[in-house]
Amino acid sequence: MKIGELSRATGTNIETIRYYERIGLLPAPARTDANYRSYGDAHRARLRFVRHSRELGFTIDEIRSLLDLSDHPERDCADADRIASAHLEQVEAKIAQLSALRDELTRIVGRCRGGLAGDCRVIEALGDHGQCGGAH
Amino acid sequence: MKIGELSRATGTNIETIRYYERIGLLPAPARTDANYRSYGDAHRARLRFVRHSRELGFTIDEIRSLLDLSDHPERDCADADRIASAHLEQVEAKIAQLSALRDELTRIVGRCRGGLAGDCRVIEALGDHGQCGGAH
DNA sequence: GCTTGACCCTGTAGTTGCTACAGGGTGCAT
DNA sequence: ATGCACCCTGTAGCAACTACAGGGTCAAGC
Ligand SMILES: [Zn+2]
Ligand SMILES: [Zn+2]
Ligand SMILES: [Zn+2]
Ligand SMILES: [Zn+2]
């Protein structure tokens, strides 16, 4: 399959596929006579793994480690569990941080009564963290 | 006040202050004879506004607009309200997305029973979005 | 046989919001 | 005079792509 087909089959931008190859996340595929990349099912599965992991928020480096484990089925899977658990913790931390931020923004936005910028409580609140609840 | 003092007074990295000046977010301050930057209270207030807005997640471009309003107190503040509301919506969307992601990750992580990578349900789940609840 | 259009190639530069040097100058204390 | 802390400019790096520019390939239709 050519790169355009792989792109459609996985919902991945063509430039992104070439980028993954360049950074060594995907193996360089065979080439046709015209020097076109030629992919097989294994490439597609690997790219799906990468894209799905990216959608779940794993970094490229984490994915590299996960792929490495996937390539060595005889190894212990504890590393995979560790990477995924650590990532889950980071996601939870990010949610907590954004929630605090949302609360603060809600409070700030709710204070605008319209009128002149000079009297705007939103602009005032942005300049003064002392007005904040302190959670962010 | 010199850049180091401003840095300490606002908790901002010196390089970041110079960066903000370079991109036109902070006005270029006066210079001493030795060509050192010399800041006043207005600079400090402006930098606090910028940092606080960044902590609340506003982009540099949004902050540019907010500062512009802050500099023109005779204008209508509706734009500030619009920017802040739109940002709040984005934060809420991000929280929703991360929550879906957290649920999916929790499900995936919970399936690992240890053992060989070849049998690991975590690695399997990363390769197959079909196993996902579909929310992410 | 020739053009048109879709597709592919490489290589480089841009995005966001910083951060980290390298290589040099300044100012004060010992 | 010699440290040392501080300041200056300019450039390059980070993550994870994305967007060209400038060119080659191939099948269809006239
Ligand atoms: Zn207002
Ligand atoms: Zn605050
Ligand atoms: Zn496992
Ligand atoms: Zn999924």
pTM for this entry: 0.92
The 10s digit of each residue's pLDDT in A86-112 is 999 999 999 999 999 999 999 999 998
Could you give the C-alpha distances from B2 to A27, A41, A93, B17, B27, in angstroms and in order? 52, 61, 36, 11, 15
Confidence of residue B114 (pLDDT cuts 50, 70, 90): confident
The 10s digit of each residue's pLDDT in B45-61 is 999 999 999 999 999 99
B7 touches strand D (CB under 7 A): yes
Q: Quote the ligand 1 centre to B7 CA distance (angstroms).
A: 30
- The β-bridge partners of A38 are A30
The 10s digit of each residue's pLDDT in B69-94 is 999 999 999 999 999 999 999 999 99
Backbone angles phi, psi at A77, to 5 degrees: -90, 5
Q: Look at residue A45 in the predicted model and tell me its pLDDT.
A: 98
A70 touches strand D (CB under 7 A): no
Measure A43 CA to C16 C1' (Å).
31
Q: Flag whether pLDDT at A28 surpasses 90.
A: yes
Residues, CB-to-ion distance under 5 Å, ligand 1: A 112, 120, 122; B 77
